[in-house]
Amino acid sequence: MQSFFKGKKILITGACGTIGRELVRQLLEDFDISELIGIDNNESELFFLEQTFSKHPQAHFFLADIRDKDKVERAARDMNVIFHTAAFKHVILCERSPFEAVQTNILGIQNIISAAIHNGVKNVVFTSSDKAVNPTNVMGTSKLMGERLITAANSNARGQGPLFSSTRFGNVLGSRGSVIPIFREQIRNGGPVTLTDPEMTRFIMSIREAVRLVIDSSFLMKGGEVFITKMPVIRIKDLAEVMIEQLASEYGHRPGDISIEIIGTKPGEKMYEELMNIEETRRSIELPRYFAVMPAFKGLYRSIQYEYPEVLSDKVTNPYHSGNETPLTKAQLKEFLVQNQLLHEDPEICKHPQERYWP
């Protein structure tokens, strides 16, 4: 993989987001790339990002919105690889303003596709979401449409045109808006810790791991497929209890004094998390760290051989969702949180409020 990235020019959209920022860090610190361009429409965060990586002369950061087709096309000029992470991700806000989600999560992706084709980019990786599987809300629907646009772009590509693929993963623990910072603030303030439903399960992974797997996808991709990351499963109730046990005393509280309050699920929220549905199993293969879902409609103008190193199985029979998988024990969950340094604040992520807003 080092040889794949050596001398490459990389464009990252959404560079100020949780995934985008970690992509910037890993690519600059771990790979010998010749240039990295990061774009985002968050002026203040972009300013701080530029200060953080000021010692890397090959890194350049620009204000840009992926809705601006011309600006995206200029940013993609001479690039070899695009990692597209820019998106609206908050379910409630997308429900309230659905066309805003359409303009960023769907039309924005088409702008990325057009820019890649126009500039002869070699590889484009779109970071999708578990919410794209059997979507129940606007955000998930927009992410699913993004995957479809990426697959169609690959199907329609001619000759030596770009390769397009998606990578789909679940909850990135510790990211902005995730439940860990909320639970932490609630524990700091003596509780209660608010839980939607004690039976709810989720896939989890760390930010560092999520990004390394996104990078892997750009190396493994053949074009048009969706890479689904294998992830451990937890009960959200176990997460709340482990965090109380580990953090209460640090904030001057006894664990037994911090209660858990059940507040009910959000509108459109699932009890379990889906990463691959039953229809997709029929065209999937299993790799050591992924499932790879082949496109339903193959390339129109070029033949693609979907061959990968270390194929475990070319037959997948079970949908991949958290309700089917065995959750981590509380001891395993504690070890995961400690190993990935997820219990305490990340100084680069802003402090979270303790309230959970249900409109």
Catalytic (active-site) positions: 131
The amino acid present at 86, given as its one-letter code, is A
d(CA 123, CA 109): 14
Cβ atoms of 14 and 67 closer than 8 Å: no
Other CB atoms closer than 10 Å to residue 16's CB: what's the count? 24
Strand spans (E) along 221-325 = 226-229, 233-235, 260-262, 274-276, 284-286, 290-293, 320-321
d(CA 341, CA 350): 16
Kindly report the CA angle at 147 between 143 and 153, in degrees rounded to 5? Answer: 140
The number of CA neighbours under 13 Å toward the Cβ of 7 is 1
d(CA 345, CA 185): 10
Backbone angles phi, psi at 194, to 5 degrees: -95, 130
d(CA 119, CA 111): 12
Tokens coding 202: 């989720």
Cβ atoms of 64 and 4 closer than 8 Å: no
CA distances from 261 to 59, 244, 327 (A): 46, 13, 22
